[in-house]
Amino acid sequence: MAQLRLSEVHLGVARLEARFADRIKVDPRLTRQLVSFQANKERPIFRWFRYKEGFSAQLVEYLLDKLDLQEGCLLDPFAGIGTTLFTASQRGIASVGIELLPVGCAAIEAQRLARSQKGADLLESLIRWRSERPWLSATRKRSYPHLRITQGAFPDSTQAALEKYLSALEAEPLPAQRILHFAAMCVLEEVSYTRKDGQYLRWDYRSGRRLGSKPLDKGRLPSFEEAISNKLAQIIDDLRPSGRLFEEPPLRGDIQLLCGSALDLLPTLKSASFDGVITSPPYANRYDYTRTYALELAILGVDEAAIRHLRQQDDFLHCGEPRKDRAQ
């Protein structure tokens, strides 16, 4: 069944290539690194959260140069973590982004906050958190409900440390609170028994789950303390004066983020109001982002009902009718 679908996709791609053969050009500058998230690994802020569905800021820069677009308004109807939006803004170009997945929306809001914070308050809070680790002495925990597919994703000690961290950050001023929360979201996969693999989470043999014939061995799992400490160090390194972020142009163009489905939101946008579109739509490989990003969705408070709703919207985008192959 899966093979049949794959061959249908290949056939579809071949038909498209044949139809647009006179318009498709091979550009050797568009390397795999540039068209994927890989090139972002060295970029301040973009490197905090690994969104492997993203493309690189360098690709957007390349396209803006090629299109010679220096002003106006760009649209990205599948904004992901906002690569198009932030890169355009650094060039003084306004943008509108639409994103369905709350994980992408949260990443965009956290980045926007981090990129636009003036003054030393945020940085001071982050430095204090890294050195004093206030969550270690927290007496309360902020637990959050897991989703069915994220139950038992962390060792007990990691789950407990995470809940103390979430409780302790509530005492911080809002900008620091948001960035600290985002930092925790960025390390969830690393400290969990899971690994993102295509559209699934693979589970480590220590998770206690019933596993297939080739269970995953993630090797040594870092503790929450170790992972969050490294993440905060990375964030501090980007935000400190003369850090990586200060080598980049500041945000100048307005960024408008619309959280929801492009199918609903695109028709509400004024026609002829954009000077360009830079986007990468969801792949036609039927990936289910709500599975891949389940750990991050759970910490954002997205519950089973909201997940079902997201899947329905995403289904519509993929094939116009609900998928029949999805296990509930």
Ligand X SMILES: C[S@@+](CC[C@H](N)C(=O)[O-])C[C@H]1O[C@@H](n2cnc3c(N)ncnc32)[C@H](O)[C@@H]1O
CA atoms within 13 A on the CB side of 21: 4
Q: What share of the chain is helix, strand, coil (3-state, %, to 5)?
A: 50, 10, 40
Alpha carbon distance 180, 184 (integer Å): 6
Site for ligand X (CB under 6 A): how many residues? 22
Nearest to 89 by CA among 105, 69, 106, 103: 69
Judged by CB under 6 A, which of 78, 182, 193, 203 binds ligand X? Answer: 78
d(CA 54, CA 38): 9
Exposure letters 92-109 (e unless 16+ CB within 10 A, then b):
ebbbbbbbbbbbbbbbbe
Name the pairing type of β-strands 73-76 and 200-203: unpaired
Binding residue for ligand X, selected from 34, 43, 44, 83, defined by CB under 6 A: 83
189 binds ligand X per the rule CB under 6 A: no
Residue type for position 160 = A
Least CB distance to ligand X at residue 13 (A): 16
Among 142, 306, 313, 315, contact with ligand X (rule: CB under 6 A): 313
Residue 131 to residues 49, 128, 225, 237: CA-CA distances in angstroms?
22, 5, 11, 14
To ligand X, the closest distance from the beta carbon of 31 in angstroms equals 16
Site for ligand X in 13-42 (CB under 6 A): none
Considering the rule CB under 6 A, would residue 49 count as an interface residue with ligand X?
Answer: no
Closer residue to ligand X in complex, CB, 172/314: 314
- Residue number with the shortest CB distance to ligand X? 80
Cβ 84 to ligand X shortest distance, Å:
6
Binding flag, residue 282, ligand X (CB under 6 A): yes
C-alpha distances in Å from residue 156, one per residue of 93, 160, 162, 306: 47, 6, 10, 26
By CB under 6 A, tell whether 302 contacts ligand X: no
Q: Which is nearer to ligand X, 63 or 122 (CB)?
A: 63
Confirm or reject binding of residue 97 to ligand X (CB under 6 A). no
- The gap between the terminal CA atoms of the chain, to the nearest Å, is 19
Q: Does residue 102 bind ligand X (CB under 6 A)?
A: no
Report if residue 263 touches ligand X, rule: CB under 6 A. yes
Of positions 48, 53, 238, 257, contacts ligand X by CB under 6 A: 53
String marking each residue 202-221 x if it binds ligand X according to CB under 6 A: --------------------
Rounded to whole angstroms, how far apart are CA atoms 264 and 299? 26
The closest alpha carbon to 88, from 115, 59, 64, 117, belongs to 64
Residue count of the chain:
328
Binder among 126, 166, 262, 302 for ligand X (CB under 6 A): 262
CA neighbor of 258 nearest in space, from 49, 96, 57, 15 = 96
In angstroms, the CA 133 to CA 275 distance is: 47
Q: Which is nearer to ligand X, 80 or 155 (CB)?
A: 80
Tell me if 98 contacts ligand X by CB under 6 A.
Answer: yes
Applying CB under 6 A, which part among 8-16, 87-95, 140-148, 310-318 lies near ligand X?
310-318
**101 binds ligand X per the rule CB under 6 A:** yes
Residues in touch with ligand X (CB under 6 A): 51, 53-55, 78, 80-81, 83, 98-101, 104, 261-263, 280, 282, 289, 313-314, 317
